[in-house]
Amino acid sequence: MDRVAALPDGGLITALLLAGRRPGVDALAATRGETLKALIPVAGTPMVARVVATLLATPAIGAIRVMTQDVDPIAAVLPADARIAYLRSGDGIARSIAAALASGAAPFPLFVTTADHALLTPATIAAFLRGAGDADVAVGMVERRIVEARFPQTRRTWLRFRGGDWSGANLFWFAGPAALPVIETWASVEQDRKKGWKLIAKFGVGLLLRALTRTITIHDAVAQAGRRLGAAVRIVGLADPLAAVDVDKLADLELAEAGLEGRA
């Protein structure tokens, strides 16, 4: 039996929804007359409200913690549901997650996603949790061929490894305390979140060279890196191309709306 099926309290887990903002004016939000990206309407509904509705509809999730610097405007577009509570964002995503875990406000086991994941579905969350299994840490990703089969014109940041190129799906699983060193390492390179090689470089020149020369799969690379931190780390490859679509730029917003409206 996998870890998700064996959880206490009826198998329910806590979901941490990252709905914070970076310093300065958000250019994408400004194009829609908003100050916060999480409040941008996607096909008429604020994207953060779309993701919360998905989390509420996912049977495995028992509690939702929305992390943001701007609680009042975010709470104003979300339902008054006892399962939802709010946490203040701190200095950086990884450090904020670590603080929430340390305080007990968002306890292990913890599922993490982002407010700009407007196309996320309960089925994709369920597939990710099944794939996480007994891992200490799991990261959802989608292979390039799957994304481009549905969206041939999309432009994404690809991590290139032997056997395929991958895009992040903004889905994370932290099962217990063994995940903490992984989160700490993430915090140390968070400013370079789009440069996966900088994270890999933390685990030695040999692993970095194998990644750069594409002589190792992404699954083996993260597993090796995790072992050096004493954690079982797993990549969960997802079959849903929508899982790779987060709304970071205008083209993403247009793609998300086209997908929701059946035009893409």
β partners of residue 61: 13
Confidence of residue 5 (pLDDT cuts 50, 70, 90): very low
As a whole number of angstroms, the distance between CA 260 and CA 254 comes to 10
45 domain residue, yes or no: yes
49 domain residue, yes or no: yes
15 domain residue, yes or no: yes
155 domain residue, yes or no: no
11 domain residue, yes or no: yes
| pLDDT tens digit sequence for 57-100 | 999 999 999 999 999 999 999 999 999 999 999 888 999 999 99
- Domain count of the fold of the chain: 1
As a whole number of angstroms, the distance between CA 121 and CA 257 comes to 15
β partners of residue 114: 18
**Cα–chain-centroid distance for residue 230?**
22
β partners of residue 184: none
Domain that holds residue 241: 4-143+167-177+232-258
Peptide bond into 241 cis (omega under 30): no
Which two structure tokens, joined as six digits, stand for 7? Answer: 């959880």
As a whole number of angstroms, the distance between CA 138 and CA 108 comes to 13
128 domain residue, yes or no: yes
118 domain residue, yes or no: yes
| Alpha-carbon distance values, 137 to 76, 144, 197 (Å) | 33, 22, 19
51 domain residue, yes or no: yes
Kindly report the average pLDDT of the chain as a whole number: 89
pLDDT for 6 beyond 50: no
**Cα–chain-centroid distance for residue 53?**
16
Residue 155 has a pLDDT of 82
CATH code of the domain in which 58 resides: 3.90.550.10
As a whole number of angstroms, the distance between CA 141 and CA 219 comes to 11
Confidence of residue 29 (pLDDT cuts 50, 70, 90): very high
